[in-house]
């Protein structure tokens, strides 16, 4: 198994930015922002280790572990620093992107995958859509990542108290194009209702089924399925706990190793 692609440098984030990015337009504002900071807590924040992946991940299991580890850092309040320097950006441009996970995520502003999984530039190929539903457009993005970028893990990331699922449960009239999203969620609501659930239990169980349905919709792609059958790609469903910040990684696993 390859080693995790995380480098812990002895440099502080501030030092790294200064060393690697002199002259680019992004840094002056950073320097200016922190140049007179004397608060010990903020100084400690600046002195976190820097995260930068340097190897290509090809194992679904390894990719899943990187997400688990990243979420642990997030929930513990100890996210790693990120190399946002011009050198890193140029490296990603010249060498191309090699994201280790596709994350199909609800658009909810409280669920930003790069922050919740504590990942950096070039790590996640993110597809965001309210209710984390899968239509041909989302599936096309996933197929691109799996086929052309060789991304080994596909994640459907739903979350607690999802507004799109709640709207589907409440069954009210929708305006504009929102109905298209609600239609995709409704089969999950019907299934959860058949269990006799009501209220918050109904919403959360509908969310669970919706994550599972999306995972199965992804598997309908012949391109993805072919990769899953030979264990080059795995699909997992994850549910995010809004206030705890914790991810439930055991909700759905298709062909998990």
Question: By the criterion CB under 5 A, which residues form the site for Zn ion?
Answer: 106, 108, 162
CB of 171 to Zn ion, least distance (A): 17
Six-digit token string for 123:
């790590």
By C-beta, is 90 or 201 nearer to Zn ion? 201
By C-beta, is 30 or 186 nearer to Zn ion? 186
Of 123, 139, 108, the residue nearest 69 (C-alpha): 123
CB of 111 to Zn ion, least distance (A): 7
CB of 162 to Zn ion, least distance (A): 3
DSSP-based helix, strand, coil % in the chain, nearest 5: 45, 15, 40
Q: Cα separation of 52 and 233, whole Å?
A: 23
Q: Cα separation of 112 and 108, whole Å?
A: 8
Q: Give how far Cα 153 sits from Cα of 64, 71, 123, Å.
A: 7, 16, 12
CB of 91 to Zn ion, least distance (A): 34
Of 158, 156, 170, 64, the residue nearest 110 (C-alpha): 158
CB of 204 to Zn ion, least distance (A): 12
Six-digit token string for 170:
């409440």
By C-beta, is 85 or 132 nearer to Zn ion? 132
By C-beta, is 67 or 105 nearer to Zn ion? 105
By C-beta, is 13 or 111 nearer to Zn ion? 111
Q: Cα separation of 212 and 205, whole Å?
A: 11
By C-beta, is 106 or 146 nearer to Zn ion? 106
Pairing status of strand 124-128 against strand 153-159: unpaired
Q: Cα separation of 105 and 141, whole Å?
A: 13
Q: Cα separation of 247 and 102, whole Å?
A: 16
CB of 206 to Zn ion, least distance (A): 12
């Amino acid at each position: 198994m390859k080693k995790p692609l995380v480098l812990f440098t002895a440099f502080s984030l501030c030092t790294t930015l200064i060393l690697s990015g002199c002259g680019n337009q992004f840094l002056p504002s950073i320097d200016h922002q922190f140049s007179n900071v004397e608060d010990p807590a903020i100084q400690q924040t600046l002195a976190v280790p820097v995260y930068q992946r340097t190897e290509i991940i090809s194992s679904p299991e390894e990719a899943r572990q990187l997400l688990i580890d990243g979420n642990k850092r997030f929930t513990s309040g100890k996210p790693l620093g990120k190399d946002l320097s011009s050198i890193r950006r140029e490296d990603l441009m010249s060498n191309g992107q090699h994201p280790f996970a596709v994350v199909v995520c609800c658009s909810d502003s409280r669920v930003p995958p790069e922050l919740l999984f504590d990942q950096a530039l070039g790590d996640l190929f993110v597809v965001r859509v309210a209710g984390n539903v899968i239509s041909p457009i989302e599936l096309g993005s996933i197929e691109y990542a799996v086929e052309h970028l060789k991304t080994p893990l596909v994640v459907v990331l739903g979350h607690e108290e999802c507004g799109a699922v709640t709207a589907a449960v409440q069954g009210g009239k929708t305006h504009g194009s929102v109905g298209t999203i609600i239609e995709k969620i409704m089969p999950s609501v019907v299934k959860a209702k058949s269990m006799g659930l009501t209220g918050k239990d109904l919403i959360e169980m509908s969310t669970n089924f919706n994550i599972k349905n999306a995972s199965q919709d992804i598997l309908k792609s012949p391109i993805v399925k072919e990769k899953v059958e030979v264990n080059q790609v795995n699909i997992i469903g994850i549910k995010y706990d809004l206030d705890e910040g914790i991810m439930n990684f055991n909700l759905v696993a298709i062909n998990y190793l």
